[in-house]
């Protein structure tokens, strides 16, 4: 009976440590890429609705959405080019549409303790100046109030 062939017998003994090092490097890079991907995905800001002087649609939301969101997310924009790639049917023309999408909007554009979400508005696009982090924080507060009132 022939002796069993050692794994990677075709590799000279002097090269086997390099093969292991290459496999380890590939594994380590995979872990890094997965970890980076996990930390950059949008998340809830965990901002709550202020108990005093909360932002409302009339005092904040309407102007914010008209300035930063409806240039793409409006029913009046027809076709992918006019919507700058925004999905059809995802519109923020009314308070009801904003309230129905509050959590997702917060995860894409709000700022709070769980991190800043700067995915939207898409740049470059029809919006040429993004909202400030202070505006994004107020947005997160407004959206928390919208979610609270819809529950």
Q: Looking up tokens 């930390």, which residue turns up?
A: 39
pTM for the whole structure? 0.71
What is residue 123's predicted lDDT score, i.e. its pLDDT?
A: 83
Q: Closest Cα to residue 145, out of 45, 58, 56, 43?
A: 56
pLDDT, tens digit, for every residue of 49-93? 999 999 999 999 999 999 999 999 999 999 999 999 999 999 999
Q: How many domains does the chain have?
A: 1
What is residue 1's predicted lDDT score, i.e. its pLDDT?
A: 57
Output the tens digit of pLDDT for each of the chain's 151 residues. Answer: 555 555 555 555 555 555 545 544 444 444 433 333 334 455 678 899 999 999 999 999 999 999 999 999 999 999 999 999 999 999 999 999 999 999 999 999 999 988 889 999 988 889 999 999 999 999 999 999 999 887 7
The 3-state DSSP composition of the chain as helix, strand, coil percent (nearest 5) reads 45, 5, 50
Which residue segment(s) compose the domain that 112 sits in?
Answer: 57-150
What is residue 95's predicted lDDT score, i.e. its pLDDT?
A: 97
Task: Give a yes or no: residue 36 inside a domain.
Answer: no
Provide the token pair at 24.
């380890």
Q: Closest Cα to residue 132, out of 110, 102, 105, 114?
A: 110
SS3 of 22-49 = HHHHHHHHHHHHHHHHHHCCCCCCCCCC
What is residue 36's predicted lDDT score, i.e. its pLDDT?
A: 38
Helix 133-150 vs helix 102-109: crossing angle, to nearest 10: 160
Asked if 130 and 69 touch (Cβ cutoff 8 Å), the reply is no
Task: Give a yes or no: residue 141 inside a domain.
Answer: yes
Task: Give a yes or no: residue 16 inside a domain.
Answer: no
């Amino acid at each position: 009976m022939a002796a069993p062939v050692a794994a990677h017998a075709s590799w000279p003994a002097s090269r086997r440590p390099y093969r292991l090092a290459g496999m380890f490097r590939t594994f380590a890079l995979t872990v890094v890429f997965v970890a980076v991907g996990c930390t950059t995905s949008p998340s809830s800001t965990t901002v709550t609705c202020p108990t005093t002087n909360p932002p409302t649609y009339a005092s904040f939301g309407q102007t914010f959405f008209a300035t930063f969101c409806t240039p793409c997310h409006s029913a009046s924009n027809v076709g992918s080019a006019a919507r700058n790639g925004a999905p059809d049917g995802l519109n923020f023309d009314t308070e009801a549409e904003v309230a129905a999408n509050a959590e997702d909007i917060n995860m894409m554009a709000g700022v709070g303790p769980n991190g800043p979400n700067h995915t939207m508005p898409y740049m470059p696009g029809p919006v040429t100046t993004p909202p400030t982090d202070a505006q994004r924080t107020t947005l997160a507060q407004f959206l928390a109030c919208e979610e609270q009132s819809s529950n």
